[in-house]
Structure 1
């Protein structure tokens, strides 16, 4: 299931700037290689070939973000490569950039074949990850290669375990730099706030990011002893890990299809209007982005919003137009609880069921205090659902889209702070002003 980026808003300049800097760096690196030649061409060719193979063997992570773990690990290993089979290497920062860039471009060449291009659907994600890899690997080379080539590491002296500590430190700083850069691109592409995008990237760093960095450092260390054989020997585990990631992606896709099917059950049975679940989900995700949710939270919010009306299947008679917002509070809560019980038996994350169970609970308790235990997702879906019900009712009376939206927002404001969270209503007003709420 693909989260939809914000509509109606031009993409930020972040991706264009990142691509521009990467293109300039690659151009300088290629000019330097043409003018001064390539040091240790056999070594450069071996690492470039693995980068190209890794670019071809990509993996899709949560949030529809693509990674090329093998290619990135090989490029990082080349950036941190000191001795090779006991002999010193002499390549520098610009050659690292040239090998990484050319290897990446070689991995993208199969996309020139129409059949391959149709199957892989090349998009901005590939350009983003390619530019990121070039910049972050060059940054790692900038931290390490001048120290190594100048002999400063020998004078320190940094030998034995301390050499490994140095590489680990460079790898850690590089991984953080990559997370910051990835957050810039992710925030622009997915329409997230930067803080939420950075949180997503740091969480990803603890998973596949740490595996990539560790593999790159390990290859660069062991290449000093076994030479280029370190590349196939120690990149294989990462290749096997990619198979596991693909399996997990297939499971996520199956989960998404199950949720879409369940969401349509109420429409097919005549309990809700066609497209209601999808509109509520789109509105909820727009509100979630406005309120700073990250990719993982947005995915769970979308799941819950799609299935928020499953409990209506327990009704003997459908609610007119499926508008549960007009039902008594107790009936709304009963439908939500029944829907939650169904969801908890589908294999969907339990958090989704808990969110649906609470979506009909009011923002303020009978004693006047705010219900702090109410999940943000439940508060968002409650507003999104009521908004779509009221908007559909207004359109049914012949109002224009703008007039129906204005009327729906005004009616929701009558219950501001009691049934509905004021922060969510304010977010709805902001999103509505930018014409992002699906109608």
Structure 2
């Protein structure tokens, strides 16, 4: 906890120092080119008004805060060297002041509705914009940048590469803050059946998988933000401030498309979650079992470095992994398929895969459901994860020793049923406190 608090305090403190310095310098020396400062400030405020929160991934407490127009506008102002052919004179500290002022103005309506952005979101914006401005403004104002690169394709490529580095800086900060926020608070808890028990010493979240998640998030709308920031800076340099609304339209349309995609994905997840509850309502499985397995499987999948698309397949398969039990005449006691003979587990898995293929989800989900009872050497990695996590949840709720006994039984079955790497990844996730399952939607 202390290490996590130090990290958060360092990031927030650095952002606060830059903010104070920016406002102090701007108030003392005045605003250079107030028209440009006002235009970019208004753009950032409007972009912050359009901010939205992407739906959280399964097992995560909240989604990502996204304000692509505000971010692109802030980065474009940081990389602005000319306007309509005339050299600009604003400096790094004024850029920070304008970005903070515009961001605060745009967050007022959100705060009034009780949905203001988190401090981490604001700190990351300030630090990344300061990084871009520090890398660009001194070089441009000294004349060295245009002397060596001119104003042609090399200059545009430099801006794009600088924005890519800025995005990487933001990803590093995001992973640091997420790791600090998720720093273990003490002994782990068991997520099934209310049983408590320690499964190992408390260890911090590994930084690598968190950074990979942040980098993968850049591939989507993050790349559009970088491209728009570059085009905005070049457009204003050539045509003046009229370029701002023109180049905002494509990014706005991209944001609308992403929001619709997120809404469709949320609807799909709700539909699959409803199907998963069918086994609970019919009395075939214990209440909450599917969501516990799905949340814990997602955490193990991240531990093993699965990508976003693979995590989605894993999540859906984990939610519907027991749906084949609906074909049974006599329910398995407490739905504990891990205690059944291998052939019976295989039959239930095949029946479940046949049902999943009728739901319209990707075929990869049905493959995971069908093969969850195979020997692990014949399974794809998502099927190995689902089988191991499902067995853990059932055994931990059934055994008197709780989590420790369940993990020991899984380790004893690593010759055929459970891959050792998956079992150890599960143990590490549990050592950090497991996850708190939240029903999708």
Picking from 324, 348, 357, the partner of 2:361 is 348
Query: Alpha carbon RMSD of aligned pairs, Å?
Result: 2.5
The unaligned stretches of length 5 or more in structure 2 are: 58-62, 184-204
d(CA) in 1 for partners of 2:309, 2:179: 14
Post-superposition offset of 1:430? 3.9
Q: 1:433 to 1:61 in 2, by over 3 A?
A: closer
d(CA) in 2 for partners of 1:265, 1:10: 44
Post-superposition offset of 1:129? 2.6
Question: In the alignment, does 2:31 pair up with 1:52?
Answer: no
CA deviation map 1:91-144 (0-9, x unaligned)? 01111111111111111111332xx22xxx4463xx323222211111111111
- In structure 2, what is the equivalent of residue 5 of structure 1? none
Post-superposition offset of 1:65? 1.3
d(CA) in 1 for partners of 2:117, 2:168: 25
CA deviation map 1:302-357 (0-9, x unaligned)? 32212110111111221121111121112211211221232233233333222222
d(CA) in 2 for partners of 1:163, 1:174: 17
Picking from 239, 252, 277, the partner of 2:252 is 239
- In structure 1, what is the equivalent of residue 390 of structure 2? 385
Picking from 277, 302, 319, the partner of 2:332 is 319
- In structure 1, what is the equivalent of residue 404 of structure 2? 406
Native 8 Å contact 1:197 1:295 kept in 2: no
Q: Which moved more, 1:326-335 or 1:295-304?
A: 295-304
Picking from 298, 310, 318, the partner of 2:323 is 310
Partner of 2:402: helix, strand, or coil? helix
CA deviation map 1:66-104 (0-9, x unaligned)? 211000111111111111122211001111111111111
- In structure 2, what is the equivalent of residue 28 of structure 1? 21
Post-superposition offset of 1:284? 2.4
Q: Using CA pairs below 8 Å that are at least 6 residues apart, which structure has the higher relative contact order?
A: 2
Post-superposition offset of 1:20? 2.0
- In structure 2, what is the equivalent of residue 144 of structure 1? 136
CA deviation map 1:402-431 (0-9, x unaligned)? x23333333333322221112222334444
Q: 1:163 to 1:428 in 2, by over 3 A?
A: closer
Partner of 1:270: helix, strand, or coil? coil
Question: In the alignment, does 2:94 pair up with 1:89?
Answer: no
- In structure 1, what is the equivalent of residue 71 of structure 2? 72
Post-superposition offset of 1:35? 1.4
Post-superposition offset of 1:194? 2.2
- In structure 2, what is the equivalent of residue 272 of structure 1? 285
Instruction: Give every structure 1 segment of 4 or more consecutive aligned residues whose post-TM-superposition deviation is greater than 6 Å.
Output: none
d(CA) in 1 for partners of 2:160, 2:267: 38
d(CA) in 2 for partners of 1:404, 1:150: 66
- In structure 2, what is the equivalent of residue 368 of structure 1? none
Count of residues paired in the alignment: 410
Q: Which moved more, 1:290-299 or 1:40-49?
A: 290-299
Picking from 418, 425, 428, the partner of 1:427 is 425
Post-superposition offset of 1:51? 0.7
